[in-house]
Structure 1
Amino acid sequence: MAELEITSISKSFGTVEVLRDVNLKIRSGEFVVFVGPSGCGKSTLLRMITGLETESSGDIHIDGKRVNEVDPAKRGTAMVFQSYALYPHMTVAENMGFGLKMAGEPKNVIREKVAQAAGILRLEQLLDRRPGQLSGGQKQRVAIGRAIVRNPKVFLFDEPLSNLDAELRVQMRAELIDLHRRLGATMIYVTHDQVEAMTLADRIVVMHGGVVQQYGRPLDLYDDPDNRFVAGFIGSPKMNFLDAAVNEVGSDHVTLGNIGGSGRTLRLPFRGFDASVKQVVLGVRPEHVSLGSGGPDELPVTVSFAEELGDVTYIHGKLPAGNPLIIRSDKGRHDGQDTCAVTLDSHGLRLFDAAGRRLRESRT
């Protein structure tokens, strides 16, 4: 196990800035997930940690030691890639021990470490097989085993499950959680799948445009996003965003009008609201939108379609101004009506300004 500290890291390819002033501290034994859309810089950051990419500026420390100029093989990291990169002519045992063989380790040490890793990953019966005789999940476990035998300070995973089918991805996620629990190792995992991030991570780094948008525990990011990007990226289905006008600002409340073009108003408890803000975006998750009975304060919704998933139904619709709205219903099947009315749970509402910044209540 090792602590990892990233200080003011930036990376440019010519005039294109890929990462900008990234600062992170990853505690020893943590499972941290870098998540964000394609092109946000998460894989580039991972490659800089292991030494496959050089930084334009900033420092990387592993276990208190600056490693910017340290050779990748000597940084104490091991990387598992999206492609399995197994040698087809070698057995599972040979693939797992190849790195140790190239490092000059004695054969008996290689056999011992391969056997230990195979036991952890339940590969004991497959050690004499070649990659062509393995399933996708088994190949991925071999790739992980190749990293385990090196006994690294930090494990790095670059979208390792993206080539697997949906059912196998769920199974492998459970196996990675169990592996982390048993090894107690520091692990950094890159994915664009926020469900994967929420499932695996002790803490999540949300990235966008080469900038860290927020860093924290999964449910903290879900319940308390710093900006509209994080609010929309974390959560499945994603958060609803409704345009609204600011009608009145009080010392302990704000009244919003014409929510989603509906003409309806909503009074929210809110201390210290910035009176200069005239237009806001109201964020609300599907579980905080409830089907109503058509009362005067409810919002009218035109229903587009419904996803009936058995234990829950997601109703997709639009408000008068065209804002899409997803409603979670636990009442079973949708009745097929073209319109419905909804109420918003005020405790689940989040406010953002026009630039996407979170508007927070005053602490005083």
Structure 2
Amino acid sequence: QAKAAGFAGADIVAVIRATAQSLLDYVPEGPTTEGYGGTYATQENFRIIRRATDEATRDTGTYLAQTNYSSGLCMSEIAWMAAVERLDMLLNDAMYGILFRDINMQRTFIDQYFSRRIIARSGIVINTGEDNYLTTADAVEKAHTVLASQFINEAFARRAGLREEQMGLGHAFEINPWLEDSLLFELAQAQLVRQIFDRHPIKWMPPTKFKTGDIFHSHVHDAMFNLVGITTGQSIELLGMFSEAIHTPLLMDRYLSLKSARYIFTAARHLGDEIQWKPGGIVESRAREVLDKAHALLGEVERETLWDAIGRGAFGDVKRTRTGGKGYAGVVARHPEYLNPVLEVLERS
């Protein structure tokens, strides 16, 4: 499948990880063929896909990148495996595990730092998971929480030594398509994120929340997503599938989606360069509203602490506690004489 995607025109192959591998406090070993919703992230599986993408690169003459998931209770272990096996990208978010896998806050903040130190050294590009907020919260009302979280994720990444060019900050095209001017709201959010984080490789997720199984409407919905993406210069665009909400995509589904995306990316390549947003118009006003609300939310987080902000459900409408969640038993106070030579080397570099 990875090689077929490369021949069909994909630039990056993401191997979907088995559902809830985040909750395992160990990394499975060896090649696997089982898994619900995906297959397990193991070092051998990374090696197998890397071999396939390298072969596709040689055959097509175009580099095919590989990405996987560094999240959950084994963020650092998977980051190390990815670095050794030459992965190009990793999904790695400072708060995703807390909000969507109920992993302890303290455990997650510690693990994201160490894993990102490894990632910074290896040159891997991270993808953050703010798009997930819009699966549990309304994309219009809570758009500012996405932007606020992007600022927080960026701050954590900077502390861990990542360069801006390694910070793939995430968001998504998840506004109700039947809402009047929904396309303008999507344009406003995408343009806002692109202008604020102008050196970052922005990760742009396709619509899923309002997919119903109507493949024709779904294909048009994805086309609108691609049009907004190329117009606003999003960097890492995940491919929308018209068979979303029906079944796991078939090879022909992916081929048709890639063909549609390639057409739009080619036909509208410089559309954004020709557009000047109307002062005081819908797009500019919406962007200003989102930015102002995000600034206000960050002020609240500063006053009450990030722990308490998460505790009251500020992000994704999900509430967590500082001592609750999986992995808390593994959090201990650092002894004054604690020494981690690996971390010291990573921090120096």
TM-score, length basis structure 2: 0.29
Q: Rg: which structure is higher? A: 1
The structure that is helix-richer by fraction is 2
Using CA pairs under 8 Å that are at least 6 residues apart, name the structure with larger relative contact order, 1 or 2. Answer: 2
The structure that is strand-richer by fraction is 1
TM-score, length basis structure 1: 0.28
